[in-house]
Amino acid sequence: MNRADRSHYGKEIAVGAVVALALFLAWKWLSLMPVLFLLSSGALIYFLVEKQGFGSSSPGERANDSNFTFDEIGGQEVAKQELKEALDFMVQSQAARELGIRALKGILLCGLPGTGKTLLAKAAATYTDSVFLSCAGSDFIEVYAGVGASRVRSLFKKARDQAKKENKTGAIVFIDEMDVLGAQRGGNRGHMEYEQTLNALLVEMDGLKDDHPVRLLVIGATNRPDLLDPALLRPGRFDRQIQVDLPDREGRKHILAIHTRNKPMADDVDLDVLAQETIGFSGAQLESVANEAAILTLRAQEQTINLERMKESIEKVLLGASRDRRALDEELWRVAVHETAHAMVSEWEQKGSVVRLTISPRGRALGYLRQVPTEERILDTRNDLLGGIRVALAGLIAEELILGQGSTGAQQDLRVASDLARRLLLSGLSHLGPIDTAELPETVRFQEIQKILAAETALIRERLAAVRAQLEKTARHLRERESLSGQDFRALMEQCA
């Protein structure tokens, strides 16, 4: 009889005993209140033990997808290669022991959300032919003392037991949200339960031995490695840190190819174009783009997914669904002026950067400009940052120039401009030159940012005033058509010049 059957029969026996006791007391004309009190107390204790995680319960989900490989992950060639090199110590364990190599105990995957850290961990289990258990850092945190530490111990035991059950020599424990479980000790975090849980994890990792029948590897994932306790990151625990970055253009093309291979794509779909227009997208966002395009195609009752549906899905992922509420005519004209100014300055700063321009409300935006750089750069120069400030300020300045006053629609633009000015200052590219910004008084920092914004505001105001007629003509075309592609917008600029 297995454990589940024993538990089932045990519950039946308990229920039968309670019913028999109740009937006996009723037959003897005795009060049932003490019995009911005891039963309710027992039920509460049972709930705490079974549901809240006391005792031997542990987090850790068994992954059933044993065929998931690194080939299923796109856009992370460097991270995949680094991870494979680290995993080779498990795959070639005998050769590693002969060379006196200490086996890795932990690997930390660091990167933004949606970049594929969980997928890399799953592929690592397949690559090493290991059992895979997955959990999150929040699974270990509980208000009751000792619960988290108990869950850590139970998780490691569960991994070893599962590996023995499946006749495997390796087990991988994947812990997502590592910054929740492994945050630095000594901070004001409410109570000592966090630190006890982290201490239990450190002890378990120290106890991992090379000669154990089951080689256990811990893979953690976080987007805030700066929050982790230094004890976790020392050699002998999380020995390797692998950065999982946003995919580049070729990586995005690979990811899109993976997520569109099981979908009927039209002949006009060009993955190179889509990869160029999705700069800054994570793998999860690209998967959502392909899925949303399929949903739009289904709603339109079309048989294949065309390029227009893919581009529409990009905008939906970025900004949300289209809004039914129509703005007032006066508001639409203001939005047209605002967005046209953004687009004109963007083209001045970098020709060919405008992809789409619209005044159709979507998400929380009444209108928007979608722009992508012609080249993907890792570093920004002073001119790049100043150009971004000019594009951000152009909308508000155009409203004041043509309509006499600005509006609240420029709030996000001003925030972007201020952030770029701050980056100029912190990078030593402002008029203050290279400085230690930690020693810079807040008032001086504020004044310097204001000087940068004021200078760029004056420059853009002068340049837009010089082409006011062109700006108004182009904005009127946008107001009439409501949406323009980058190519159409550039043609209109030349026509209205």
Residue 190's region, left for phi above 0, alpha for psi from -120 to 50, else beta, is left
Strands of 238-244's sheet, edge to edge? 61-62, 131-136, 170-176, 215-222, 106-111, 238-244
**Euclidean distance between CA atoms 269 and 308, whole angstroms:** 8
Residue appearing with tokens 């920004």 = 380
* Among 316, 275, 270, 319, residue whose Cα is nearest residue 293: 316
What 3-state DSSP class applies to 408? helix
Q: Give the integer Cα–Cα distance in Å for 53 and 7.
A: 18
Q: How many CB atoms lie within 10 A of CB 248?
A: 16
Reading the block at residue 87, the tokens are 């995993």
Residue 339 annotated in active site: yes
Residue 303 and residue 288 in contact, taking contact as beta carbons nearer than 8 Å? no
Contacts of 340 by beta carbon, 8 Å cutoff, 6+ apart: 357, 398, 471, 474, 475, 478
Number of Cβ atoms within 10 Å of the Cβ of 292: 19
Q: Which of 82, 177, 287, 339 is catalytic?
A: 339
CA-CA distance, 495 to 497, in Å (whole number)?
6
Task: Give dist(CA 128, CA 170) in Å, integer.
Answer: 7
- The catalytic site residues sit at 339
